[in-house]
Amino acid sequence: MGSAYDPHNEKKDVIESVRPVTAAESDEESNLDQPEWQPGWKARFPILGFGALVIVVLCAVADILVLHFSDQKSQTDWPKKIAPNVILSGLNSLSSICFSIAIGNGIAIAWWRRALKGSTIQDLHRSWSFSTSLKEVAVAGKYFNVIALAALTTKLTIIDNVLMQRATTTYVGTDKPVHMIIQGSANISIPTTGQTSGRSAEPGLMTKAFSDDIKAWAQSPLSMPGWGFPGCEGFCFLEIDAAGFEFDCSEPTSTAVDYGVQVKAAVAAQSSSTSASSSSDFSSNSTDSSSNETSTVRRRQDITSSSSVSNTSATVFSISFDKQYSPYDENIGANLTMDISYTQANDDLSDPNICPGTLYQQSCVLRPALISYPAFITYDPQSTTDAALSLGTTYGMWSNPTLSGIPVPKFSQAQKQQEGFRVLKYIPTVETHNTGLPTESYLAGIQQGLRMYLGASSSFSFGGATGEFQIDQGGASPQYLMNSPIPSQCGYKYADPMSPDEGANVQSVVAAINQIMFSLATGMGVYAQQPASLSFVNDGVRDFKALGVKLEVHYETNTAYMIGAVVSIFVCVALVLPVYWGYWQLGRKVSLGPFEVAHAFRSPMMNAPAVNGTIDELMRDVGPRKVQFGQIVAGDAKGVLGVAEPEYVAKVEPTAGSVGGSSRSA
C-alpha cells in the first residue's frame, strides 16, 4: 500500500508560508503577554510537598504512640475493632501516599531547576526517566543525581512499612482480675454417708451418693469437676464455705530405731508368742492396718498349726482411721481419729544386718467443721473440655512471678488446716455407740472411705532360712516410699504423710481428705450423673464472691523493629529534601505534566494567547481543542506520526512485513 495520505482526499488547504515579524510587532506582542515569573522563598514555598513530609513525620509520631500505648494491653483494654496493626497499616498507607506526593513535587522542582540552569535534552530526558523507571536509576552510573535519589527513596519506603508491621505482635495472656459472683452449691453440714455394722458399730456400707463422690475424686484428685460452679470463663479464684474437718494434731514424736537389729534379735531369741506379745517392741502380727497398735514390731504366728514363730515383722509405715463417738455433751460431738507412723532408715554398707533410722509418730483428731476452701476454677468456653476445679491455689500464688510453679499448701499445726484453708466454726455431729442393728451415720461412711483410699500399712520381715529382709506394702503406702533400698537390706525411707517433700511426688493425706470432703459437700459424684439438677445439695444454691481472670489476646511491642522503622522513615525524609533545594529560584508553580513540558518546548499545538501563563491558564485556552494521534497529512509535519487536529490526521496502516495484523487509529 502506498502513502497513507491521498491528495484527492485532502481535508483543507494549508498555508505553509511564514511572514517575518517586525521589531515593532514583536515589542507590541511582548507588551501584551508578559511572563508570570515570581521567584522567592515565600512566593514559591512548596506547601504541598513540605506539607506531605510533615504528615509523614506526624504519622511516624503516631506510630510510636500507638506502639507505646498498646504494649502489653489486652483486647479488652484496647478498641477491639481497631487493633494496633490495623492502625499502623492505615498510618503506613497515609505515609506512603504523602511520600509519593512529596517525591513527585520535589522531582518536578529539581527537573525544572536543571532546565532553568541549562541542560541538554538527553539529560532532561534521563532525569525524567529516573522518576518513572527503577531500571534507569539502577543503571544511572555517573548520571545519578538528586532526582534519581528521590526516585529510589520511593522504593525504600517499603522497608519502614515492613518494620512497622513487625513492631507489634500478639500473644495470649491473662487479663486484669475482675470481681464477680459465681453461683454454686455446697453443704455446710455433713450429710449421712453410711451406716454402722455389727454389735461393735464398725463402719459398714457407704451411701450411694458418697460412694459416687469419692469415686469422682479418686478419678482425678488434683483436678476435680467444676460442674457445680458455672459462670467462670478463664480462671476464677473464690473461697467456698463447706463442710470439712479441723485437724487437731499432736506434735510429732521421733524415736531412734534399728529394725534390722530388732527383727534379727527376735528370730534369734525364738521366744514364745506370749513373751513376744509382752515386749514393748514386738507383738503378734495383725492384718487390720487401721488398728491402733502401741508397739511397732509384731510377730507372725501360724495360728492353724500353732507352730513356733518362723518370721518377725516391723511396721515401717502406717496410716489408720478410727471413730470416737459423742459423749453425753452434745456440744462436743463425734469425730474421727488418724494415727500416722513412718520410718526413715539408712542402709549401712559396712554391715548388712543393720539399718539405723528414725520412727516418727503423730495422732490427729478430725473434728467436723465449716471450712473455707480456696478454690481455683479453670474453664475455656471455646474448648470442648469441662470446667476443672482444684483446691489450695489462691490468686496470690498463681500470679506470683517469683514462683517457678504453684506451691502446694503445707499443713499448719497452728491453724489446724492447710495454709490458706480456714476453720470457720465447729459443726457438732452427735453420734452415739449403737450395738444393735445397722444405723445410719454421718461419719461411718467417711471413715470407711478414708480407710479404703488413704489407709496404709507397710512392714518388713526377716526370713531366717533365706537370710533376707522382705517388705510387704498395703494400701497407699507405696506412694510414700521415697527410695529403693539395696536388695537384702532394710534402709526404707518413707515421706511424711502430713507434709511430704516435693521430691516425693505425692500429695499430703490432709490435702486428700480436704478434697474428699469438698467432693462430698458439693455432690460431685451425683452431679456427674444429673448435671441439670442441683436438688441433691441440701443447702441450696448460694452466691460466692470470686476473682475472675480471662485469657485474652495481648499486644506486645518489639522496640527494635519500632526504632528501625522510625529511623527508616526519617532517613527517607532526609533523602527527599535535596530535590527541594533551590525551589526559590523558580518563578511559578511547576509540574512534569506532559502538556506543561510540551508547552515549554514550544509545541505548535500548545499555542495560545496565554503563552506565558501557568499551566492552568494554558488549559483554559487550549484545553477544549480536539486532537488525535496518527499520520499527519498536511503542513510542515506532513507524513509524520504525531498529534494534531483530527482533520489533519489519517489512519495509520501497518508497514509491509509487520507482524500482528492491522492497527486502528486511536
Q: pLDDT of 269-301, one tens digit each?
A: 644 444 444 444 443 343 343 334 433 333 333
Q: Let me know if 363 is exposed, middle or buried by CB neighbors in 10 A (0-12, 13-18, 19+).
A: middle
Residue type, position 7, single letter: P
Q: Which of 547, 564, 587 is the last residue of a domain?
A: 587
Q: Is the domain of 581 the same as that of 645?
A: no
Q: Is the domain of 353 the same as that of 304?
A: yes
Report the C-alpha gap between 423 and 368 in whole angstroms.
10
What total number of domains does the chain contain? 3
Q: Is the pLDDT of residue 239 over 90?
A: yes
What residue numbers bound the domain in which 571 lies?
38-171+555-587
* End-to-end Cα spacing for the chain: 20
Residue whose C-alpha is closest to residue 443's, from 215, 202, 147, 85:
202
| φ, ψ (nearest 5 deg) of residue 470 | -130, 140
Band of pLDDT at residue 66, cut at 50, 70 and 90 = very high
User: How far is residue 646 CA from its own chain's centroid?
Assistant: 70
Band of pLDDT at residue 403, cut at 50, 70 and 90 = low
Predicted pLDDT of residue 331 = 61
| 379 located within any domain | no
Q: Which of 508, 523, 544 is the last residue of a domain?
A: 508
Cell of 45: 514555598
Which residues, other chains included, contact 28 with Cβ-Cβ below 8 Å and sequence gap of 6+?
none
| 216 located within any domain | yes
- For the residues 83-97, what does the mean pLDDT come to? 92
DSSP helix/strand/coil, 178: strand
- For the residues 23-32, what does the mean pLDDT come to? 48
Q: Is the domain of 164 the same as that of 215?
A: no
Please report where in the chains the cell 498529534 appears, as a residue: 643
Cell of 461: 520381715
| φ, ψ (nearest 5 deg) of residue 448 | -65, -45
CA-angle at 512, arms to 506 and 518, nearest 5°: 150
| 326 located within any domain | yes
Which residues, other chains included, contact 82 with Cβ-Cβ below 8 Å and sequence gap of 6+?
none
Report the C-alpha gap between 542 and 531 in whole angstroms.
17
**271, 320, 352, 416, 459 from 279: Cα distances, Å:** 11, 22, 25, 35, 18
How many Cβ atoms from other residues are within 10 Å of residue 289's Cβ? 22
Q: Are 615 and 639 in contact (CB under 8 A)?
A: no
Highest-confidence segment of 7-11, 155-159, 312-316, 403-407:
155-159
How many Cβ atoms from other residues are within 10 Å of residue 632's Cβ? 22
Q: Is the domain of 617 the same as that of 473?
A: no
Q: Is the domain of 123 the same as that of 217?
A: no
**Tens digits of per-residue pLDDT, 156-176?**
888 888 999 899 999 888 888
Q: Which residues of 374-386 are buried (b: 16+ CB within 10 A; e: fewer)?
A: bbbbbbeeeeeee
Report the C-alpha gap between 37 and 338 in whole angstroms.
107
Q: Is the domain of 356 the same as that of 212?
A: yes
Q: Is the pLDDT of residue 455 over 90?
A: yes
Predicted pLDDT of residue 310 = 36
Q: Is the domain of 364 the same as that of 438?
A: yes
Report the C-alpha gap between 85 and 75 in whole angstroms.
12
Residue type, position 606, single letter: M
Please report where in the chains the cell 532525569 appears, as a residue: 127
- For the residues 661-666, what does the mean pLDDT come to? 46
Predicted pLDDT of residue 347 = 81
Residue whose C-alpha is closest to residue 173's, from 234, 236, 83, 85:
234
Q: Is the domain of 256 the same as that of 268?
A: yes
| 433 located within any domain | yes
| 549 located within any domain | no
Predicted pLDDT of residue 616 = 78
Cell of 76: 479488652
Between strands 551-557 and 468-475, the pairing is unpaired
593, containing H or E segment: none
